[in-house]
Each structure stands twice: as C-alpha cells, then as structure tokens.
Amino acid sequence: MISVLRNLVENPGKIRRAFFYWTVRDQNALKWFPSILDDIYDADTSHIFQIRHFLTSAKYDDRDIGQILLKYAVRAQHKHNDMDLVLGRQAHHMIETGRPDWDEELTSVKEEAKELGFKKCGIFLCGPLKMAEAVDEASLKLSQQDSDFHFYFSKETF
C-alpha cells in the first residue's frame, strides 16, 4: 500500500482526493510506517491524501464518558500541535482508537467529494471479509439515501 501512495504522490492523474484507512490490532504494527507516511505527507503538495489510522485493540465505547473525553482530548491535542498521543510523537496523521464507524467515515468522504463537485466515489478495500461487508453495507446505504451521489465498492479480501 505504501508503494501505491508513493506512486499517487508522483503521478496523481485525475485524482483530486484520496482517503486511506489503515486499521491495525496492536500498537507495535504502527511503529514501522509513521516516518514513511510523514515523508508522503510532506511530498503531497497538492493535499490529495487524507490518511486515517485506527488502533482496533483499544476499544472505544461511546457510552463511557471517560473514553469520549479522551477521544476529544486526543483530537484537540493533535489539532493544536500535531502531537499524536498514541504514537507519543508529532505526526501529520492521528491514530484513532477502536474500529472505524464506516457510516460516519463514508459520510465524511461523501461530503468532501460533493464539495469538490463529484457525484461518485470509488472504494477499494483490501482487508478481512467482515470489514468488507461493513464498508459495502455503509456505502450501499449512503448511495441509496442520496440520488445525487454513488459509491462504487470493490474489494480484495483475505
């Protein structure tokens, strides 16, 4: 996936925005690529990429006020000085905890795509079947709710 990002930075073609989601189970999986992603971020002078990371072993419960406050504190800290509290260092990208809420994530993607004048968005997922089903379900639901916008979903599962 890193090679895809690097190629797109060098030759974006018609792409005006790309969202990359990385989900990992443990914090050790995050250690090898932050500097590579920072290099890609610095090279992305057209601001095409939005990279979002999720540490899924850290469960997020929206009924727990402590976790809610921590989530917003982490976001505020990162917005203020690019400090990622999960990585323990400054980073252009922030690590979210828990699994992505695909309805929320794809709604955000759709809104940004529409602001850029697009009426469709392609999704390519490489990941486990359960995640593919969740993303496909969210993309279908959002496509059906808005006749002026459509997600195209494709996947490679393992």
Among 59, 82, 100, identify where a domain stops: 100
- Say how far apart CA 114 and CA 103 lie, in whole Å: 16
Among 100, 122, 138, identify where a domain stops: 100
* Same domain as 110, residue 92: no
Question: For residue 88, what pLDDT is reported?
Answer: 67
The answer on pLDDT for 24 being more than 70 is yes
Q: In terms of pLDDT, which residue wins out, 119 or 42? A: 119
* Same domain as 146, residue 93: no
Q: How many domains does the chain have?
A: 2
Find the domain containing 110 and state its range: 101-158
- Say how far apart CA 78 and CA 94 lie, in whole Å: 7
What is the DSSP code string of 7-75?
A: HHHH--TT---EEEEEEESSGGGGSSSHHHHHHHHHH-TT--EEEEEEETTS---TT-HHHHHHHHHHH
* Same domain as 68, residue 21: yes
pLDDT digits (tens, 9 = 90+) for 106-135: 999 999 999 989 999 989 888 889 999 999
pTM, rounded to two decimals: 0.76
* Same domain as 91, residue 31: yes
